[in-house]
Amino acid sequence: MASSSSSEGEGRRAWVPLASRPEFAGVTPLPQDDGPSPVVAIAYRDDFRETMDYFRSLYSSRELSPRSLLLTSLAISVNPANYTVWHFRRQVLEALGADWTEELGFTEGVAKRNAKNYQLWHHRRWVAEKLGPDAASRELEFTRKIFCLDAKNYHAWSHRQWVLQALGGWEDELDYCAQLLEEDVFNNSAWNQRYFVITKSPSLGGLNAMRDSEVDYAIEAIHANPENESPWRYLRGLYNDENEAWLNDSRVHSACLRVLKAKRNFKFALSTLLDLLGLGFKPNQEIKDAITSLRTSDLGEAGSDSDLANSICSILGLEDPMRANYWTWRKQQASSSS
């Protein structure tokens, strides 16, 4: 059987025509049928055309052989998004009794050049499933390598979450999220992963058990960078649908007040207070005064809580012009509900 990793390397070396290679002797190429008069004939490269002609021949005859495996490597090297090639490769691997660890090595080679390829990640998961829990540590390390190149690679994050749930490896995941956030507290993917861990990990006890310490964690991040939307969203998510807990947690109100008093980067503090007001929050005078101090002279004075909501929307309309229409709509909603 041809080595998976060495097969992948075939695609990187200088092209050798398949017609001159002994392993493909006896294969009759099957050209692509574009019809008698194609409107716009695609100018395929010679290596691509030959590779796919040979692939069609072996695929149509369902030849599950070492040279078919080699050919899928070559076909993937010229077009890594061809799902039919990946599908056939899996059939060949099954038939040949593949070395699944070696196949992981093949996918790593492809990922170096195509880390956002859907077919690659689907194939990688299929191989990892074959290996079971023994593959967990390697898969987690593989995604770490991807994140060093692209910290927000959606495919890698999705794969990592699948690995944790299907194969295990939760033990160090919360620490890993903390490490990523120490490196870049604006990494919204790491915030999302942290929430995934505290809600899904079988060893942490769930959201209720983790909420208290995680609220402190989020608020610390907010105080350091109040302009960072991620910890604000994370903080809200910690209460899920438990609005009473969110309304009654003085740490949330205090965090908003502290940011308002600083009179800079207060956009998310105001939007948080606006959401709380919509749920029946009764702000104290200190919060009201802090909001009033942010108002421009042409906005008038705030009286009732509905006036306070209107004031917040007016301020946000000026501070967040990109979403000015949204804040106008929120003001209308606040007025209609008062």
Catalytic: 152? no
CB 218, CB 272: distance < 8 Å: no
Please state whether 80 falls in left (phi above 0), alpha (psi between -120 and 50) or beta: alpha
Q: Pick the catalytic residue: 112, 116, 145, 263?
A: 116
CB 286, CB 252: distance < 8 Å: no
3-state secondary structure of 329: helix
CB 235, CB 276: distance < 8 Å: no
Count of C-beta atoms within a 10 Å radius of residue 266: 23
pLDDT in tens, the chain (338 residues): 444 444 444 445 688 999 999 999 999 999 988 778 778 878 889 999 999 999 999 999 999 999 999 999 999 999 999 999 999 999 999 999 999 999 999 999 999 999 999 999 999 999 999 999 999 999 999 999 999 999 999 999 999 999 999 999 999 999 999 999 999 999 999 999 999 999 999 999 999 999 999 999 999 999 999 999 999 999 999 999 899 999 999 999 999 999 999 999 999 999 999 999 999 999 999 999 999 998 754 444 444 455 899 999 999 999 999 999 999 999 998 877 76
Please compute, for residue 141, the number of CA atoms within 13 A of its CA located in the half-sphere on the CB side.
8
pLDDT of residue 42: 80
Count of C-beta atoms within a 10 Å radius of residue 72: 30
* Nearest alpha carbon to residue 193 among 140, 149, 245: 140
